[in-house]
Amino acid sequence: MKIYISKYHKISKKNIEEILLNFNSLGQSFFAGKKHRRNHIKVVEQKGRKFNIKSFKQPNFINRYVYVFFRQSKAERSFKFAEKLIKKGIRTPKPIAFAEETNRAALTKSFYVSEHLDYDLTFRDLDLKVPAHEDILRAFSRFTFKLHENNIEFLDHSPGNTLIQINNGDYLFYLVDLNRMNFKPLNFNERMNNFARLSPDREIIKIMAEEYARLIGKSENEVFEKMWFYANSFFVNRAKSRKRKQKFKNLVGLK
């Protein structure tokens, strides 16, 4: 197993390897998708320290070779993007290591190890009926603007992928699920499209647009119209896609 450990952590490869080899029997599941079809995340405690370990699902047949010869694996990208975010002043749970296992030149397993972060909320938990949550939403909009100003396009900018800590009235945002990112200057349309996955709620979009408009120096109406266009399009198309998949499953089930 190939293991790369951050130079900022004094943990041995042997220790990491023991944890990964015993992944199925150690720790508590934090997120577990359907067997062999989704990623599996566990929290493992060793010597008083908690680690968040993400075991990526096995790639499809072609990508097993692509990730060895042509492109970095999701685990390696997660690790390197985390280091890059931290250098840019963007919070993410501290990266510790990534590991890859190959068989006959094909990637069979990969893991990303980070420090486990205790948090209070995610974007998904925000509810405008709760008084303080509008303030958090506006702070989140400022955080997203900071991403864009730092030439960061977080392609998985979705409700569960920003962890929120509440610290004496201050709000700290941490990005997770990092393997899909672009680092480039973003035009206005790209910035607005980056909000598309977050919410189908018009009022939430309106508040984010108000805050973002103030920062980017455009009218609230212009920012809202564009942000709402992308968000509404995304959720309408997703609903149609889910309906088609369900219809197909029902047809298959009848046979």
**pLDDT for res 30:** 76
**pLDDT for res 182:** 98
Residue given tokens 């200057």 in the structure block: 185
* Amino acid (1-letter code) at residue 146: K
Q: What is the pLDDT of residues 169-207, one digit of tens each?
A: 899 999 999 999 999 999 999 999 999 999 999 999 999
Q: Which residues of the chain have pLDDT under 70?
A: 31-37, 254-255
Cα 183 from Cα 153, distance rounded (Å): 6
**pLDDT for res 32:** 56
Residue given tokens 């995610």 in the structure block: 122
- What's the half-sphere exposure (Cβ side, CA atoms, 13 Å) at 96? 23
**pLDDT for res 227:** 98
Query: What is the pairing mode between strands 95-103 and 49-55?
Result: unpaired
φ, ψ (nearest 5 deg) of residue 239? -65, -40
The CA-CA-CA angle for residues 52, 154, 29, to 5°, reads: 20
Q: What is the pLDDT of residues 82-99, one digit of tens each?
A: 999 999 999 999 999 999
